Structure 1
Amino acid sequence: MKPVDPELKKIITNFLSEEQTDVRRIFHGRGQRYPGLEHVCVDWFSPSVLITLFNDYDQLEELASHINAVDIHQQVGSIVVQKRFEKGVPAIALKGAISEELIVSEGALRFEVHFGKHQNIGLFLDMRLLRDWLQKHSKDKNVLNLFAYTCSLSVAALAGGASSVTNVDMSKPSILWGEKNHRLNNQESDRVKSIPHNIYKSWGRTHQFGRYDLVIIDPPTRQKGSFDVTKNYPSVIKRMSKLCNPGAEIIATVNSPFLDENFLLDLFAKHLPQSQFVSTMEVAPEFEDAFPERGLKIYRFSYMA
């Protein structure tokens, strides 16, 4: 049996050499910078290590032994493996128990994550720097969060002083989960508007809360029966002229290996000519990709009415 890759061992050893309180991607095999480990990712959700596999990996027991051996601060309470490549996305515990509901921290923010219930556990770690940015640039703004999922970006916006946030997502369980995240951060419920509907059936309600100073568009690449990024993104962009205040900022994302850096730039130029491209926004460095054009792309636009 092959031993655990030395580079993977080194990265985990370095991470656990210090006490870690914040959620973080430890090892990003999906970035294709580590040959033979493209199917392995390791995350930290204190006190749990989550190993996500996208294909078979024969060194699990050895990897768990290494994690235990280098846990010098005795901070690892459980080691959980999620097998994305198997039907039902099963999760197993190599150490401790699977915490189906766990409260974790990212800086001053707190979020609830779920192991063993869903494919996605409730918090996308690659958006860490965007949450930081929102905490610094949301003061007194009316924020619209489209495809809000569990509302982590809205939590960050309110923490940054936003006057209000409106969360739109077709999944009612996700919206309810997001409302719990707002409560975890002691954010006033009257500053949070929730619309648990298909985005195309909720434009009327979205308009009811006035025009917005900051709009976040963070869609799934493909959501069965609801959203296809190549087919449906243009119609969302067209709506911005009816939703944005003059000078509003629009944060738009796309995460597909088949759509390059020009995809969103071209769509905004064509469907919202009143907008101006401001900058790309950095993805958390722990998600470094050998082919960044294939990974998560975050763009910032200004609406110039």
Structure 2
Amino acid sequence: MYQLIEKALKIQFQQLIDEPRRIFHGRGYLYVGLEHINLDWFPPVLLITGYKTIEDADSLISLVKQQDELDQIKSIVLQRRSGKGAPSDCVWGENIPKFIVVENGLRFEVQPGVHQNAGLFLDMRLLRTWLKQYSKGKNVLNLFAYTCSLSVAAMAGCATQVVNVDMNRSSINWGNRNHELNDQDLRSVRTIPHNIFRSWGKIQKMGPFDLVIIDPPSRQRGSFDAEKDYVTILKRLTRLCKPGSDIIATLNSPYLGSDYLPNLMQRYQPKYQLLRQFPASTGFEDKFPEKGLKVYHFRG
């Protein structure tokens, strides 16, 4: 039943893996019958996520342990996304609710299994790498900041200031811890723990911005609906940004295709030209890429 997962585990765990990564991407719909299963590695914890009931989960857990030839896995966590609140259990090893991982030289606090999301989106690795390379000297606005991994990367790339906006104060506090983990001066990290759509005045006072990151959830009750709310943000760009500014805009919705956001930008902010769409990060190959995470770079 789980031969393809076994193969992926064998390939990955025959060597030391010291950075977080996706081990198996069932949600990419490339593996028939396994579309509901993802495996993520947050060393030393392996997180198994089931988007519906995983049949014979005990066999899958045993298989994971068998393929860990170098004894890297200290804990296996099983998360049931189909259950209310996405409940999780430590199904093998020691319970490690909170710890630090290192990606591309940057340190991040993660809590796999404690919340619905672990605190570090592995599919954004390429964007974090890009921000570390191209943020020097820039005033950066990070909308829907979550745990601020993108602003950590921007500060590591010598941004002059980052402004993190997220209505979830606990996420912002988590983000500040991430900045501190990387010895980044919090005097250059501004935070607005409020609803973006009620905070435009505060945001504008901290501009103008050289780089704006728009990384919203596709649909979050009471917070953001991509089809209704993206336009509102795009219309604000000319008031927030310097001429020639860069815009990183993401869309993670299976219902809105690859052309949706570029067409929206062309209609409401035609001066911003699409420079590139980022490829999928390693491990996130998708049979239907237009339904997965889409990350765009505009400039205008």
- Normalized against structure 1, the TM-score is what? 0.96
Residue 235 of structure 1 pairs with residue 199 of structure 2? no
Please list every run of 5 or more consecutive structure 1 residues that lacks an aligned counterpart in the other structure: none
Which residue of structure 1 aligns with residue 54 of structure 2? 57
Residue in structure 1 matching 2:4, options 4, 7, 11: 7
Give the AA of the match of 1:42.
L
Which residue of structure 1 aligns with residue 161 of structure 2? 164
Preserved CA contact (<8 Å) 1:98 1:115: no
Deviation, structure 1 residue 98: 2.7
Give the AA of the match of 1:69.
Q
- Normalized against structure 2, the TM-score is what? 0.98
Structure 2 counterparts to residues 289-304 of structure 1, below 5 A? 289-303=286-300
Residue in structure 2 matching 1:139, options 130, 136, 140: 136
Residue 26 of structure 1 pairs with residue 44 of structure 2? no
Give the AA of the match of 1:261.
S
CA distances 1:13-41 after superposition (whole Å, capped 9, x unpaired): 11100101100000000000000000000
Deviation, structure 1 residue 117: 2.6
Give the AA of the match of 2:36.
H
Residues in 1 aligned to 2:260 and 2:85: alpha-carbon distance in whole angstroms = 33
Give the AA of the match of 1:230.
E
Deviation, structure 1 residue 9: 0.3
Which residue of structure 1 aligns with residue 127 of structure 2? 130
Preserved CA contact (<8 Å) 1:45 1:104: yes
Preserved CA contact (<8 Å) 2:45 2:76: yes
SS, match of residue 297 in structure 1 = strand
Residue in structure 2 matching 1:38, options 1, 13, 35: 35
Residue 252 of structure 1 pairs with residue 252 of structure 2? no
Residues in 2 aligned to 1:49 and 1:292: alpha-carbon distance in whole angstroms = 25
Structure 2 counterparts to residues 209-224 of structure 1, below 5 A? 209-224=206-221
Residue in structure 2 matching 1:283, options 280, 289, 294: 280
Residues in 2 aligned to 1:193 and 1:40: alpha-carbon distance in whole angstroms = 38
Residue 186 of structure 1 pairs with residue 188 of structure 2? no
Preserved CA contact (<8 Å) 1:13 1:67: no
Q: Percent identity?
A: 50
Which residue of structure 2 aligns with residue 66 of structure 1? 63
Deviation, structure 1 residue 115: 2.9
Residue in structure 2 matching 1:81, options 53, 78, 81: 78
Give the AA of the match of 1:96.
G
Which residue of structure 2 aligns with residue 93 of structure 1? 90
Give the AA of the match of 2:214.
I
Residues in 2 aligned to 1:228 and 1:98: alpha-carbon distance in whole angstroms = 36
Which residue of structure 1 aligns with residue 205 of structure 2? 208
Q: Comparing 27-36 with 115-124, which one deviates more in the overlay?
A: 115-124
Which residue of structure 1 aligns with residue 152 of structure 2? 155
Deviation, structure 1 residue 210: 2.1
Deviation, structure 1 residue 116: 3.4
Could you list the structure 1 runs, at least 4 aligned residues long, displaced by more than 3 angstroms after superposition: none
Residues in 1 aligned to 2:159 and 2:266: alpha-carbon distance in whole angstroms = 28
Deviation, structure 1 residue 290: 0.3
Superposed CA RMSD: 1.0
Deviation, structure 1 residue 62: 1.5
Preserved CA contact (<8 Å) 1:146 1:215: yes
Deviation, structure 1 residue 74: 1.0
Residue in structure 1 matching 2:268, options 267, 271, 276: 271
Please list every run of 5 or more consecutive structure 2 residues that lacks an aligned counterpart in the other structure: none
CA distances 1:66-97 after superposition (whole Å, capped 9, x unpaired): 22222121111001100111112111122113
Question: How many residues were matched structurally?
Answer: 300
Q: Comparing 103-112 with 232-241, which one deviates more in the overlay?
A: 103-112
Residue in structure 1 matching 2:173, options 154, 158, 176: 176
Give the AA of the match of 2:31.
Y
CA distances 1:83-114 after superposition (whole Å, capped 9, x unpaired): 11111211112211332212111120111111
Deviation, structure 1 residue 270: 1.0
CA distances 1:112-158 after superposition (whole Å, capped 9, x unpaired): 11133311121111001000111111111111000111100000011
Residues in 2 aligned to 1:222 and 1:210: alpha-carbon distance in whole angstroms = 27
Q: Comparing 228-237 with 205-214, which one deviates more in the overlay?
A: 205-214
Give the AA of the match of 1:280.
Q
